[in-house]
Amino acid sequence: MNVVQSPEQALKQAGAKVSTRAPKRDEQEAEAPARKPAPLKLDQLLLEDERAIPERRWVGGIGAFPRPRLACLAGPPGVSKTTLALGLSVALAAGLSYGGLINPPGPCRVLFGGIEDELDELRRRGAAVAGRLLEHPRQRATVNANLAVVDVSDCVPLFQVDHDGRLTETPGLERLRATISEFRPDLVVLDPLIELHTAEENSNTLMRPVLRALRSMGVEFDCVFLLLHHETKAGEGNGLQRIRGAGAIGGAIRSLWSMRPMTAEEAKQFSIAEDMTDLYVKVETGKSQYSRRRPQAWFVAEERELANGDVAHLLVPWSPPTFSITPEDLAKAVRALRQGLHGEPCSTSPTADAAARHALEQAGIPRGACADVLKELQATGEVQIRKWRDPADRKVRKRLWTSGNPFGGWVEEAGSDEARH
């Protein structure tokens, strides 16, 4: 009987050594022919017809929220970020403009995901803003059809750092994805960003995948994610510099609105009492990737009593007062500048002790109108910038001159010996 030998048996019979171990992976890769990497697709930058380029799309009107991208509403604690976001959400759902921030062409679908505030609290503030913005019962039905609130605290964190320090997606993210897939919103508000993950907020390495995943979901469902976020305690620099955490946050967002409380300087300029400044907040454009920065918008907090007896507050658009300059204002200003301050002519420097602004304010000119009043007086020639020799240190300085002022030491104009020294 003939016995069929395997190649290995034949080699053994011939005295050859046979290895029974499986080849290592690197050996397999060395034996296999190298695969040529597929190149990236090359596209032309310039098209023959510019109309073939898709139009940029926005939620809330041009310059509001670019779709599908990440946007951010940031500010220090207690500046009413959630209240402003609710006002924006109600206005978007109704198709109404709101404080110059949004001007939607029609109603938008909004999913508001709250974490720190329970649904009942969101309903209180929502009722307050609806009572102020909505004028017809049909608008309430439109808002209810287009605006949904969800308690995201049931599924956070959406991203979690495991024991090996890697960032992983949690089942909560899948629940949020399923919710978005079902509701199909134009805008998803998540309040706040810090509650969505367990990553170190200052780590670019960990924050990038968080933001990348949210951005990918925005592309997948063609929506904008509006992330509410805190600023640094120092609150220094511009809007992007004030954002708390890793620089990757500012790099990933394409639209940033920064909320700032009214300063004492602004309160004085607008003639707002000191004990009322906490009611006022302004919104500045911190980043606008695809449009011009919008002018700053002001809001004032109001309280509204609900039908159940509760009191809830909302933010109402507010316009700073404007001042019309009268002949009486100009006459008061000339008298104030003629008298000077602290025994010397008024200074052209706004920070000097004898600053012209101080003299005008003491004369009753509102701070916001001081610059315009001075400009008008200079245009008529009643007030001029001339050189004045300070008797204290004999230095020549630029000061405001008026006819009939009581000060000596004015330096003659070019041509005199004194002016040349």
**60 Cα distance to chain centroid:** 15
Domain's final residue, options 318, 343, 369: 318
Residues 6+ apart with CB under 8 A from 307: none
- pLDDT value at 418 more than 60: no
The pLDDT-based confidence of 207 (bands split at 50, 70, 90) is: very high
- Supply the range of the domain harboring residue 240: 57-318
Reported as type and span, the H/E element at residue 418 is helix 417-420
- Whether 234 and 339 map to the same domain: the answer is no
Residues β-bridged to residue 73: 228, 257
pLDDT in tens, 71-120: 999 999 999 999 999 999 999 999 999 999 999 999 999 999 999 999 99
CA 358 to chain CA centroid, nearest Å = 34
391 falls within a domain: yes
Residues 333, 406 within the same domain: yes
| pTM of structure | 0.76
295 closest CA partner among 272, 276, 320: 320
**Cα–Cα distance measured from residue 287 to residue 341, given in angstroms and rounded to the nearest whole number:** 42
Give every CB contact of residue 103 below 8 A, 6+ residues apart in sequence. Answer: 60, 61, 62, 64, 97
- Coil vs helix vs strand at 333: helix
Residue 22: inside a domain: no
Would the pLDDT of 421 be above 50?
A: no
pLDDT tens digits along 326-381:
899 999 999 999 999 999 999 988 888 899 999 998 998 888 788 889 999 999 99
Shared domain for 149 and 112, answered yes or no, is yes
For residues 42-61, average pLDDT: 95
Percent of the chain with pLDDT strictly greater than 90: 77
What's the pLDDT tens digit per position in 158-188?
Answer: 999 999 999 999 999 999 999 999 999 999 9
pLDDT at 359: 94
In this structure, is residue 14 part of a structural domain?
no
Shared-domain flag, residues 173 and 232: yes
pLDDT band at 321 (very low <50, low <70, confident <90, very high): confident
Secondary structure element (H or E) that encloses residue 173, with its range: helix 171-183
196 DSSP assignment: G
Lowest mean pLDDT across 9-23, 29-43, 202-216:
9-23
Q: Which one of 284, 318, 352 terminates a domain?
A: 318
How far apart are the C-alpha atoms of 345 and 383, rounded to whole Å?
Answer: 11
Q: Are 147 and 112 in contact (CB under 8 A)?
A: yes
- Are 139 and 233 found together in one domain? yes
Q: Report whether pLDDT(220) > 60.
A: yes
Kindly report, residue by residue over 252-290, the tens digit of the pLDDT. 999 999 999 999 989 988 888 889 999 999 999 999 999
Q: Which two tokens stand for residue 232?
A: 């640094």
Same domain assignment for residues 304 and 374: no
| 180 and 254 inside one domain | yes
- Structurally, the chain folds into a number of domains equal to 2
| Greatest mean pLDDT range, 14-18, 225-229, 232-236 | 225-229
User: pLDDT value at position 415?
Assistant: 40
173 and 156 fall within a common domain: yes
Identify the residue with better confidence: 207 or 33. 207
| Cα–Cα–Cα angle for 169, 122, 297, rounded to 5 degrees | 95
The number of helices, as runs of H, and strands, as runs of E, in the chain is 14, 15
Structure tokens at 237: 């620099």
